[in-house]
Chain A
Amino acid sequence: MSNSTLAAHTATFDTGSAASLPSGKAGVWWFLASEIMVFGGLIGTYILFRVAHGGWAEQASHVSWRLGATNTLVLVTSSLTMILALNASRTGRHQRAAHFLLLTVLLGLTFLGIKSIEYTREIREGFVPSSGMFWSFYYIMTGLHGLHITGGIIFNAILYFGATRGTLWSGGHGNRIEFAGLYWHFVDVVWIFLFPLLYLS
């Protein structure tokens, strides 16, 4: 009786630390869950307002869908280079991984460059955050997204320097590329929502 009780206890061991999701990755996923709620709140509010106020279409016609579409292409490409960097790091091709990280950083900077051209044009034409509800939403949503892009560029740049100096690999931090990648894809997906909502609708 007592032996079987003991056996039953030992049989129920789970090795806590060997969880299916590594800590770093789990942390990023929880972070992204909270980020989804931030952007979800903004996007949901925007859609409700937009549906209720038809007059916005006139304001919305002043954004440049061509620049927006170009930026969409830039960002989707940068997601691809991020995956290629991860792929290269996993197969041990460190030089190649560093190159793709640099490419991702450069594409991120290109996105910000095009975005600033857009902002400049719009502000010159007199469309500032206080020009109307559409513009308020346009600036808060693209602005917050731009801040996230900036953050992602900084992470990726740090990884790039770590990769070229070798500290990323010697410290065993190679899977940080995956964590940064998760974030970068998330920021990309947010843009995939923003582009049709702000430029095409």
Chain B
Amino acid sequence: MDTAIAHAHQPPASFLRRYVFSIDHKVIAKQYLTLSLAMALIGGFTAYLIRWQLAWPETDIPGWGPIGPDNYDALITMHGTVMIFFVAMPFLLGGFGNFLIPLMIGADDMAFPRLNMTSFWMLFTASSLIVASMFVPGGPAAAGWTSYAPLSDNPIYTGVTWGQNLWILAVALEFASFLMGGINFLVTALNLRAPGMTLWRMPLMVWMELTAAVVFLLSVGPLVAGALMLLMDRTLGTGFFRPDRGGDPLLWEHLFWFFGHPEVYVVALPGFGIMLEVLPVFSRKPVFGYRMMVWSTLAAGLLSFLVWAHHMFVSGMDPRLATPFSVTTILISVPFAVLVFAMIATVWGGSIQFTSAMWFALGGLATFMIGGVTGIFLGSATTDIFLHGTYFVVAHFHYTLFPVTFFGGFAGVYYWYPKMFGRMMNEVLGKIHFLFTFIFFNAIFIPLFITGLRGNPRRLYEMSNYDFLKPMQSLHVIATIATIGLLLGQLPFVANFVLSMFFGKKAQDNPWHANTLEWATSSPPPFGNFAEPPTVYRDPYEYSVPGASQDWIAQTAPEPFITTVAAD
């Protein structure tokens, strides 16, 4: 009945069972992490090709050659698909969610370890399919990561046949994988908490992963149906999304964005969760407004189901829908503003330690705010009508997704690496990595905000064909040089990640003096996580408690620790 109890606290002996088809959540987390970083190479390389074409059109791209207009469409499609579905989600949910949820709540593993393994290998299959789709006749899908119909529906528009079908299959498999993963997250956190770990004592990272899991679970269904319809349109001659057969292309946009917008929060919330673990530890202060943050997160999750049509202001839907969706969209910025301000207030007045993890968390917070604020312009129908489909949108969503995925994700890697691999990462390389990432990321997308405001349409293969775009070419060149800088700036990270595994300083169990349960076991934790099942006595963020003998009090500390109480 209870599979978590059924597997004994001994790691399996065979190599295959231990490292490949493992049911240990920590091994599976590392598999997700590795897969997402490998896919990030593809995502990064496509970005390089796209940016090179935009800066120096139709020239030989070093390491590739010239790309044609058809390939350009395929490249932007693959960039978006790979980065969202095969980098951000496996990195933040598969990797960190899997690693942290059982450790943070004091469980020995996930509720369904075998299902966990299945989720990963299903994602691996999906990743293989999306990579394979790049090599089939007709090329990979070229209708954008949103696969708008009828562009994606009727092969005569793109010339893509099998590529689009494989795209649908790969994404559907990815959905199934994260559905199973999400169910596992939810059941684990609700059923396997250690004694004393009440819901209100769970670290915010767990709350964020859970909310993300619920939001994903409830938003993806209609798109699964939509994917099936699209596949039938392409293979069985139905016409769900084709006006000439009685269907409606807008239906796809509704089904897609009903999922697609919540999906942004599925990625964003775990990224916030990482920042929220890192910020209090390196500020030596409790998080500001723990309960308010949880309520805000849940409110954001709820509201995320009511905002999708703000992607469709100029799509031809009933214009009377624009105002309600503008209102809900502006409304959702309230809980996010609460989160952002609470993060700032957490750091405010703390004794800040500028570790690499802290730099990335702060960098993520700073850049996300730009993404959030520019979102207000796009959420309001009046301004969106002008900005829709321009580089302003491109810059905006990169300013939301990049901070959570990469700043948040890297903060997580620097912070939990000692727990994952038992060794410390090099802090100097880490800070160089941060500096490159922070400077070049902003140098790419600030110029694109400007070109977007000047009306530069996105998804254009060659801008030199349009006179009004010619003065903006230098901004595109800046963005491209910065892209190359950003990609090269990841080399210190790769070196650090690989070399620290062998040559890093041995990590102590709790190198950062943090309170949460994952630091109450050895680094790396043994199979089964805890030598002794932990008991929880405290809230997760009791830092710098007045009168305490040290500035952190672990969640497992039973003594009151308050040695002196001021007499009044």
What is the interface of chain A, defined by CB distance below 8 A to chain B? 1-2, 5-6, 9-10, 12-17, 19, 21-24, 26-27, 30-31, 33-42, 44-45, 49, 53, 128-130, 132-133, 136, 139-140, 144, 172-173, 175
B131-139, B244-252, B394-402: which lies at the A interface? B244-252
Contact B187 A136 (CB under 8 A): no
Contact A30 B183 (CB under 8 A): yes
Residue contact A16 to B194, C-beta cutoff 8 Å: yes
Closest B residue, CB atoms, query A134: B246
Are the CB atoms of B179 and A14 closer together than 8 Å? no
Verify if B319 is at the interface (C-beta below 8 Å from A): no
Would you call B237 and A130 a contact (CB within 8 A)? yes
State A144–B535 Cα separation when bound (angstroms): 46
Chain B residue numbers with a CB within 8 Å of A140 are 225, 228-229, 232, 238, 240
Chain B residues with CB under 8 Å of chain A are 1-4, 105-107, 111-112, 115, 179, 182-184, 186-187, 190-198, 217-226, 228-229, 232, 236-240, 245-248, 251, 255, 258, 535, 537-538, 558-560, 562, 565
**B residues less than 8 Å from A2 (CB atoms):** 560, 562
Q: How far is the CA of A30 from the CA of B193 in the complex (A)?
A: 18
Measured in the bound complex, the distance between the Cα atoms of B193 and A45 in whole Å is: 40
B247 nearest in chain A by CB position: A133
Contact A6 B198 (CB under 8 A): no
- Find the residue from B223, B247, B537, B565 having the highest chain A CB count within 10 A: B537
With A19-B191, A22-B1, A172-B1: A41-B222 Cβ-Cβ less than 8 Å: yes
Complex contacts, A130 vs chain B, CB 8 Å: 236-239, 245
How many Å lie between the Cα of A34 and that of B222 in the bound state?
A: 9
CA distance A39 to B198 in the complex (A): 35
Partner of A34, one of B105, B197, B217, B251: B217
> Roughly how many angstroms separate A22 CA and B191 CA in the complex, as a whole number?
8
Of chain B, the residue at the smallest CB distance from A56 is: B246
Most buried by B among A6, A38, A172: A38
The answer to whether B187 touches A26, judged by C-beta atoms less than 8 angstroms apart, is yes
CA distance in complex: A136, B230 (Å): 11
- Whether the pair B1, A16 counts as a contact (CB closer than 8 A) is no
Given contacts A15-B195, A37-B221, contact A133 B246 (CB under 8 A): yes
Contact A26 B218 (CB under 8 A): no
When the two chains form their complex, are residues A19 and B190 in contact, meaning their CB atoms are under 8 A apart?
A: yes
Most chain A beta-carbon contacts within 10 A, residue among B187, B248, B255:
B187
* Neighbouring A residues of B220 by C-beta, 8 Å: 34, 37
Listed by A's residue number, 7 A-B pairs whose Cβ atoms lie within 8 Å are: A15-B195, A27-B183, A34-B183, A34-B218, A37-B218, A42-B222, A130-B245
- Rounded to whole Å, the gap between the CB of B483 and the closest CB of chain A is 37
B565:A1 contact, CB within 8 angstroms: yes
Can you name the residue of chain B whose Cβ is closest to the Cβ of A147?
B228
Cα(A25)–Cα(B500), bound, Å: 43
**Residue among A14, A22, A35, A172 making CB contact with B221, cutoff 8 Å:** A35
**Which residue of chain B is the closest to A1 with respect to CB atoms?**
B565
Contact B221 A53 (CB under 8 A): no
When distances are taken between beta carbons in the complex, the residues of chain B under 8 Å from A21 are 190-191
* Contact A16 B112, CB 8 Å, known A1-B565, A40-B221: no
B-chain residues with CB within 8 Å of residue A23 when the two chains form the complex: 2-4, 111-112, 187, 191-192
Which 5 pairs across A and B sit closest by C-beta, in order of nearness? A37-B221, A41-B222, A16-B193, A130-B237, A136-B238
Residue of B nearest to A26 (CB): B187
* Whole-angstrom CA separation of A10 from B559 in the bound complex: 11
A23 to B107, CA, bound (A): 13
For the complex with contacts A23-B112, A133-B247, 20 further pairs of A-B residues with Cβ separation under 8 Å are A2-B560, A6-B559, A6-B560, A9-B196, A9-B537, A16-B105, A17-B193, A23-B2, A27-B187, A40-B222, A41-B226, A41-B255, A44-B222, A49-B248, A53-B246, A129-B232, A140-B225, A140-B229, A173-B1, A175-B1
CA distance A140 to B191 in the complex (A): 37
Closest chain B residue, CB of each to CB of A15: B195
Query: What B residues does A35 contact at CB under 8 A?
Result: 221
Contact (Cβ within 8 A) B245 A133:
yes
Known: A37-B219, A133-B239, A140-B238. A42 touches B225 (CB 8 A): yes
Residues of A within 8 A of B106 (CB): 16
| B contact residues around A31 at 8 Å (CB) | 179, 183
Q: Which residues of A contact B198 (CB under 8 A)?
A: 12, 14
Is A136 in contact with B562, judged by CB distance below 8 angstroms? no
Within 8 Å CB of A5, what residues of B? 560, 562
| Contact present for B217 and A33 (CB under 8 Å) | yes
A30 near B217: Cβ-Cβ < 8 Å: yes
**Are B246 and A34 neighbours in the complex by a CB distance under 8 Å?**
no
Asked if B221 contacts A26 (CB within 8 A), the reply is no
A37 engages B232 (CB within 8 Å) = no
Please, how many angstroms separate the alpha-carbon atoms of A153 and B393 in the complex? 48
Q: Which of B111, B222, B239 contacts A37 (CB 8 A)?
A: B222
Asked whether, in the complex, the Cβ of B225 is within 8 Å of the Cβ of A38, the reply is yes
A38 to chain B, nearest CB (A): 4
Q: Which residues of A contact B107 (CB under 8 A)?
A: 16
- Give min CB distance, A20 to chain B, whole Å: 9
Q: Which of B4, B182, B240 contacts A136 (CB 8 A)?
A: B240
The reply to whether A45 and B247 form a contact with Cβ atoms under 8 Å apart is no
B192 touches A17 (CB 8 A): yes
Cα(A55)–Cα(B119), bound, Å: 44
Closest to B112 in A: A27
Q: In whole Å, how far is A136's beta carbon from the nearest beta carbon of chain B?
A: 4
B193 nearest in chain A by CB position: A16
A13 touches B239 (CB 8 A): no
Assess A34 versus B187: contact at CB under 8 Å? Given A12-B196, A40-B222.
no
* Chain B contacts for A144, CB-based, 8 A: 225, 228
- Cβ–Cβ < 8 Å partners of B538 in chain A: 9
Asked if residues B187 and A30 are in contact (CB atoms below 8 Å), the reply is yes
Contacts of A53 in B (CB 8 A): 246
- List of A residues within 8 angstroms of B225 by Cβ: 38-39, 41-42, 45, 140, 144
Which single residue of chain A is at the shortest CB-CB distance from B251? A45
Q: Could you say which residues of chain B place their CB within 8 Å of the CB of A40?
A: 221-222
Instruction: Decide if B179 touches A34 in the complex (CB within 8 Å).
Output: yes
Q: Is the CB of A132 within 8 A of B246?
A: yes
> Do A129 and B236 touch across chains, with their CB atoms under 8 A apart?
yes
Question: Given known contacts A19-B190, A140-B229, is B221 in contact with A36 (CB within 8 Å)?
Answer: yes
Measured CA separation A139–B232 after assembly (Å): 10
When chains A and B are docked, how far (Å) is the Cα of A140 from the Cα of B4? 38
Tell me the smallest distance from the CB of A134 to a CB of chain B, in Å: 9
Which residue on A lies nearest to B255, using beta carbons?
A41
Q: Which residues of chain B are within 8 angstroms of A27 by Cβ–Cβ distance? A: 111-112, 115, 183-184, 187
Contact of A129 with B194 at beta-carbon distance under 8 Å, contacts A5-B560, A37-B221 already known: no
Most chain B Cβ neighbours within 10 Å, of A37, A49, A129: A37
Which chain B residues lie closer than 8 Å to A39 at the CB level?
221, 225
Chain B nearest CB, measured from A135 CB (Å): 8
Cα–Cα distance between A16 and B108 once the two chains are bound (Å): 13
